[in-house]
């Protein structure tokens, strides 16, 4: 299992690469929030394939990410989860 996370001010987004299906909904929702346009290149979250043509994905966050959680709220596969300070596993 490969877990990555982004944490700011007691909020945290945890990304589980193994659950990612590469649908890019997280990137589309994120870009719409920041830019009011569906453009994955403008998103603060990145979903990349490990190998060209493969089915394994790597999730990462840019410095632009403010841990709002919109990506996690719209992930249909449970690859992204959003946590607030005081919840299990969040310091």
Domain that holds residue 36: 3-83
9-20 pLDDT, tens digit each: 889 999 999 999
> And the tokens for 25?
């909904």
Total number of domains in the chain: 1
The residue with greater pLDDT, 49 or 68, is 68
User: Is the whole-model pTM more than 0.85?
Assistant: no
60-87 pLDDT, tens digit each: 999 999 999 999 999 999 999 999 876 6
Q: Is residue 91 part of a domain?
A: no
Distances (CA, A) of 42 to 33, 35, 47, 64: 10, 7, 12, 10
Q: Is residue 90 part of a domain?
A: no
Q: Is residue 88 part of a domain?
A: no
Output the domain CATH number for residue 61: 3.30.70.20
Lowest mean pLDDT among 6-10, 19-23, 44-48, 70-74: 6-10
């Amino acid at each position: 299992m490969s877990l990555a996370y982004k944490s700011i001010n007691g909020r945290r987004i945890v990304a589980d690469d193994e659950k990612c299906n590469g649908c890019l909904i997280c990137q589309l929702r994120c870009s719409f929030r920041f830019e009011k346009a569906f453009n994955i290149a403008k998103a603060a979250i990145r979903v990349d394939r490990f190998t060209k043509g493969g089915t394994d994905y790597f999730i990462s966050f840019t410095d632009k990410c403010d841990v709002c959680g919109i990506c996690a709220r719209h992930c249909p596969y449970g690859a992204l989860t959003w946590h607030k300070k005081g919840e299990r596993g969040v310091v």
